[in-house]
Structure 1
Amino acid sequence: MILTGEKIRVWLATRPVDFRKGHDGLSAVVQTVLGHDPYSGAVFAFRSRRGDRMKILVWDRTGLVMVYKRLEGGGFQWPRPSDGVIGLSPAQFSALFEGLDWKAVRAVRRPRPRRAA
């Protein structure tokens, strides 16, 4: 989808937004409510009131891209709308975008093998 192999930051707005907002309205929310720069290249995800729709805003170095997704027969697994914004890893965001429980995604740290002297 949007995420490539590069290290990318993903910010999830936990409170619902007015889904009539377009590029300019969502970029204003990113600046005023979330306190981030919409032109930073980070991915910003927004939820609808019902929780079955998502809008994503990202600057791709040539313009603002807005993606709209509606799940059929279910809803996204959203966090409680307490803090306003939380950071997600690209793997967690991919799970959320697919309608899966993103909280179950954990990074597995494998120890590096030691070199013999």
Structure 2
Amino acid sequence: MSGTCAIPATVKDSAGNEYKVTSIAANAFADSDVTQINITGNITSIDPKAFANSKVKYISVKDAKLTKDAFKSLLKAKKGTQIKITGKNKKTNIKNLKKSKAYKKGRVKLVKKFNKKTSKKK
């Protein structure tokens, strides 16, 4: 897996049964080349080790209603990870993010737009 990963609101099994995706597991992005994650819809929890050993630098949260504990996962995110929060639960998610240790320690930064700097070779 590389680039951007969009976490779907639902998934279907081989029999066509549909299930809500409500959480992100430990080491979900470990050793992958994913640099951006788009979290939407039904996600409420993120394991504290979800971003361990990952290259994730950009996290977009839209409409998901994350619990306070979900933001503990950001302690394992790369230093300087940017988080953009939009949608119907924006106010609550920003409040919970600002209470997190990762935010208070400067490990993650709340942004309105991702600042993806590209280095130019001379």
TM-score above 0.5, yes or no = no
Q: In proportion to residue count, which structure has more strand?
A: 2
Larger Rg: 1
When normalised by structure 1's length, the TM-score is 0.26
When normalised by structure 2's length, the TM-score is 0.25
> Which of the pair has the greater relative contact order for Cα pairs under 8 Å at 6+ separation?
1
